[in-house]
């Protein structure tokens, strides 16, 4: 996928109304070159369509696993244009591939269970569609894209509405077809909300033992999502409790940049 407006905004930000003074001073206006985007590490690449330069030969596609040294894209054309777009292209590729690679690590960690890894709304402003696409390319699934997609009744909503039943009934009355998820902190709260028949219950900062007890208590009446304090080394432990989802904000807000470089091959 490609977000042309975001690419244009990134290039405009880089120029800040001026020109690339280094390239203009050192490279003639009609100079051409050939270059390759090369992976420096192993992982899942995303953002191949975001490079934003002409004369592109794509050698991989979004969601492919690559190794260090693999050539991802070959570009040829005007030297100034390619070097102008270099950092913007690497920013897109590195950030989105980092998200996909991290997501894939979580997915592999829970492989063989019935649990799914999914993201949150903890995304970079303006990048949500792309970052959630990267999560999917890494093998994860998406939670709601926006506040209008579904209701997530959290502790602040419950406090403001005067109780969990009041909050639930208000949402159901105002938006009768909207999926409703309710956050609970304890097994006692879980028992209280089950008669309301929510579509999903978020188990906030519960231990694996509590999650296992929650699965037993629910007995298939609704889906369960574990969230908060879950680390990669504990992912499988949580998944094996029987919860349906692990909600991992780190997929988008803490993914390490995937190392990719642009190597000039000729002038």
Tell me the catalytic residues.
87, 122, 154, 183, 204
DSSP 141: B
C-alpha 88/C-alpha 14 separation (Å) is: 8
Q: Cα–Cα distance between 73 and 69 in angstroms, integer?
A: 12
Q: Are 137 and 62 in contact (CB under 8 A)?
A: yes
For 253, residues 6+ apart whose C-beta sits below 8 A from its C-beta are 122, 123, 124
Q: What is the dihedral of CA 9, 12, 14, 20, to 10 degrees?
A: 150
Q: Which residues pair with 267 in a beta bridge?
A: none
Are 7 and 88 within 8 A, CB to CB?
yes
C-alpha angle 99-126-14 in degrees, rounded to nearest 5:
90
């Amino acid at each position: 996928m490609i977000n042309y407006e975001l690419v244009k905004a990134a290039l405009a930000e880089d120029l800040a109304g001026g020109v690339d003074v280094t390239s203009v001073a050192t490279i003639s206006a009609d100079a051409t070159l050939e270059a390759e985007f090369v992976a420096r590490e192993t992982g899942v690449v995303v953002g191949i369509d975001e490079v934003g330069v002409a004369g592109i030969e794509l050698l991989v596609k979004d969601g492919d696993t690559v190794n260090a040294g693999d050539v991802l894209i070959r570009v040829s054309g005007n030297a100034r244009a390619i070097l102008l777009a270099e950092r913007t292209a690497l920013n897109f590729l590195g950030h989105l591939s980092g998200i996909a690679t991290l997501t894939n690590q979580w997915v592999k960690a829970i492989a063989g269970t019935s649990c799914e890894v999914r993201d949150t709304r903890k995304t970079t402003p303006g990048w949500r569609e792309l970052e959630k696409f990267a999560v999917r390319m890494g093998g994860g699934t998406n939670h709601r894209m926006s506040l209008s997609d579904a209701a997530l009744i959290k502790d602040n909503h419950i406090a403001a509405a005067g109780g969990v039943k009041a909050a639930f009934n208000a949402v159901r009355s105002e938006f009768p077809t909207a999926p409703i998820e309710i956050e609970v902190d304890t097994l006692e709260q879980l028992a209280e909300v089950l008669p309301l028949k929510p579509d999903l219950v978020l188990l906030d900062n519960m231990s694996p033992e509590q999650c296992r007890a929650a699965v037993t208590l629910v007995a298939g009446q609704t889906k369960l999502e574990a969230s908060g304090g879950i680390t990669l080394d504990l992912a499988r432990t949580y998944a094996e409790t029987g919860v349906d989802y692990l909600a991992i904000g780190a997929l988008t807000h803490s993914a390490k940049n995937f190392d990719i470089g642009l190597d000039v091959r000729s002038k």
